[in-house]
Amino acid sequence: MSAEAPRLNLEETSHLAVRDTMKLSPAVLAGSLAARQEIDYNSAPPNLSTLANSSLFETWRPKAHVLPPFGQIGDPCMHYTDPETGLFHVGFLHSGAAGATTDDLVTYKDLNADGQPFIVAGGINDPIAVFDGSVIPSGIDGKPTLLYTSVSYLPIQWTIAYTRGSETQSLAVSSDGGRNFTKLEQGPVIPSPPFAVNVTGFRDPYVFQNSQLDSNTGSTAGTWYVVISGGVHGDGPSQFLYRQHDADFQYWEELGQWWHEPANTTWGNSDWAGRWGFNFETSNIFGLDENGYNAEGEVFTTLGAEWSLDPIVPQVSDFREMLWASGNISCEDGKVKFTPSMAGKLDWGHSAYAAAGKVLPATSQASAKSGAPDRFISYVWLTGDYYGTLDFPTDQQNWTGALLLPRELSVGKICNVVDNDLVRETGSWRVTSNSSGIVELATLKQEIVRESLAALTTNDSFIQPGQTLSSSGVVSFQQAPQSKFHVITASLSFPQTSRGSNLRAGFQILSSEFESTSIYYQFSNESIVIDRSNSSAAAKTTDGIDSRNEAGRLRLFDLVEDGQQRMESLDLTIVIDNSVVEVHANGRFAISTWARSWYAASREIRFFHDGDGEVTFGDVTVHEGLYDAWPERT
């Protein structure tokens, strides 16, 4: 949970004083329908801040993503599979913490009417706020047990002095299927950071089990551990590790800073994994193999990293990075340590942050239906107002932010790669084998969960004939999607001479004569770019509609196929859910953002080419309509 003031004003203090316009009931929302119908999406937009409250409720709202019925969504957290029902519970910060259940990872049901929370602030341990936490599915008395950050003082931010006791870790238990979590009538079970450590933060406890840790710490098999995110002033970001001491989870033994990085340093030259920053947030720990979750597999962590440029301004984080790392566990001088062996970005979008995941066992309802093995499923938060720093027309929309489509994570392999300088850089991959100049690479594989992807791509579709472009320009598809809810899948092939050139190639989406969003691969810096400079006509009339470009790095390696070298193709899945755009590539890359097109006609798709070189577009399919993730909501 990012604890700086601008985000808290909209998100975490909602139990105290959220603006009434952000808490309008469905009945009030229905009363604004007439106002919404008066908006002309065939004409230039007015200053949207002058419109009636909730009049923009449907304008940019996604339908296949997780978000509350109304109001603001914050960090995803507190997920778990109910061992009694097999339902997967997805949690998120919202007026405390709220959530939903799913039996297929496609459709969701609110746990409580109107998306009401299952835990709110106001107790002895958390008079100010409830921050992120995680759930032991069969905890105290075999019931779902939540360990969360209980907040008693604000502000909290890595750029200012830390008030000891402001963040503690407390327990709550559910006896009604997760609809309510009742706080234990006792003090925090982890009442303070480690002794004499001047922390930058101490929050977002994540509970997990790991057999490698059991072996390295001499623990009983199946012991629960908790990692708490933060850092040390003047020193750098850290993950603080604790171990379950008793069967009732009342006491947690401190195992120290099992991972620490010097302040604001980088993995390699920072091209592939950004910066470690000054403070870690929302850390998850889990084991993976090529099939999915494995408690004995390679150890991975996902984490948020906060940092700023000089001069550092109090209570301001200029940048946040949504990172992942894998590494090795060792024991040094009696202390268990995590050492990264590769690292990357889970999502390159500037507004994508605070990922939270959980083991989804093969016995869950969703996995039993799809035949999936044990998996680790992760949700990423897409903030709607850039962490509360933009003056977005929130009252007119009456909702802010969403969770991105769930992803399943595993160890990915890239085979038949030519052993050249491209593979020897310190990046988001590592060499696992080498034979006669051909190597195999390992990385983090991340894809939209199979159930969601199948549902996204089984509706009506049309195939756009492929073509080869060698000159700059745009070429319109033969037909446009019927709505702003669709998926594009395609494979782009480039000659090896493209490497290092000025070629840019991809698609324009949500396009009309007035606006468009360009998504393309740029060889000059090996990046996928989302050009939003002309995404929204509304950005020209209204403050707070972010139109800055997005970019993320993806290396296309040289491969050997049938004895011939070729460049790896760019395999794209682009999800357009009204204003939410997710770009997934090659099973190892994601970048997500907002593209708030205004005009009703902005539905066209175009091929895009710029620069010198050739691109061949193949297997281009447009899947129409998406699905409604919330069929029971009115």
Edge-to-edge strands, sheet with 129-136: 129-136, 145-151, 167-173, 182-183
Q: Is 614 exposed, middle or buried (0-12, 13-18, 19+ CB in 10 A)?
A: middle
What pLDDT does 35 receive? 54
Binning pLDDT at 50, 70 and 90, where does residue 21 land? very low
Print burial letters for 510-546: b (CB count within 10 Å at least 16), e (below 16): bbbebbbbbbbbbbeebbbbbbbebbbbbbebbebbb
- The residues facing 476 across adjacent strands are 606
**Whether the predicted pLDDT of 24 surpasses 70:** no
351-383 pLDDT, tens digit per residue, is: 999 999 999 999 999 999 999 999 999 999 999
Residue 1: predicted pLDDT: 76
Backbone torsions φ then ψ of 430, nearest 5 degrees: -145, 155
Dihedral angle computed from the Cα positions of residues 190, 191, 197 and 200, in that order, rounded to the nearest 10 degrees: 90
Other CB atoms within 10 A of residue 463 CB = 10
Confidence of residue 544 (pLDDT cuts 50, 70, 90): very high
The SS3 call for residue 57 is coil
Please report where in the chains the tokens 């682009």 appear, as a residue. 574
Residue 575 token pair: 């999800």
Contact yes or no for 459/481 (Cβ under 8 A): no
**16 has pLDDT over 70:** no
Give the Cα separation of 341 and 451 in Å (integer): 31
Distance CA 48, CA 478 (A): 33
476: DSSP letter: E
Q: Within 10 Å of residue 418's Cβ, how many Cβ atoms?
A: 15
Question: pTM for this structure?
Answer: 0.95
Q: pLDDT by residue (tens digit) across 94-109? A: 999 999 999 999 999 9
- Start-end of H helices in 18-124: 26-31, 33-37
User: How high is the pLDDT of residue 37?
Assistant: 55
Give the residue from 145, 188, 150, 377 showing the smallest Cα distance to 284: 377
How many other CB atoms sit within 10 Å of the CB of residue 498?
Answer: 20
Q: Measured on CA atoms in the order 340, 346, 352, 355, is the torsion positive or negative?
A: negative
Residue 4 has pLDDT above 60, yes or no: no
- Residue 210: its pLDDT value, please? 97
Q: What average pLDDT does the structure give for the chain?
A: 94
Q: For 246-292, how does the pLDDT look when each residue is reduced to its tens digit (9 = 90+)? A: 999 999 999 999 999 999 999 999 999 999 999 999 999 999 999 99
Q: Annotate 296-360 with DSSP letters as a single string.
A: TSEEEEEEEEEE-PSSPPTT--SEEEEEEEEEEEEEETTEEEEEEEEEEEEE--TTEEEEEEEEE
Share of the chain above pLDDT 70, in %: 94
Percentages helix, strand, coil for the chain, rounded to the nearest 5? 10, 45, 45
Q: What are the pLDDT digits (tens) for 387-431?
A: 999 999 999 999 999 999 999 999 999 999 999 999 999 999 999
Are the C-beta atoms of residues 58 and 77 closer than 8 Å to each other? Answer: no
Q: Say whether 422 sits in a helix, a strand or coil.
A: helix
Give the DSSP letter string of 248-302.
Answer: TS--EEEEEEEEE--TT-BSTTSTTT-B--SEEEEEEEEEE-SSSB-TTSEEEEE
448, 584 contact by CB (below 8 A): yes
Could you report the per-residue pLDDT of 188-234, keeping only the tens digit for each? Answer: 999 999 999 999 999 999 999 999 999 999 999 999 999 999 999 99
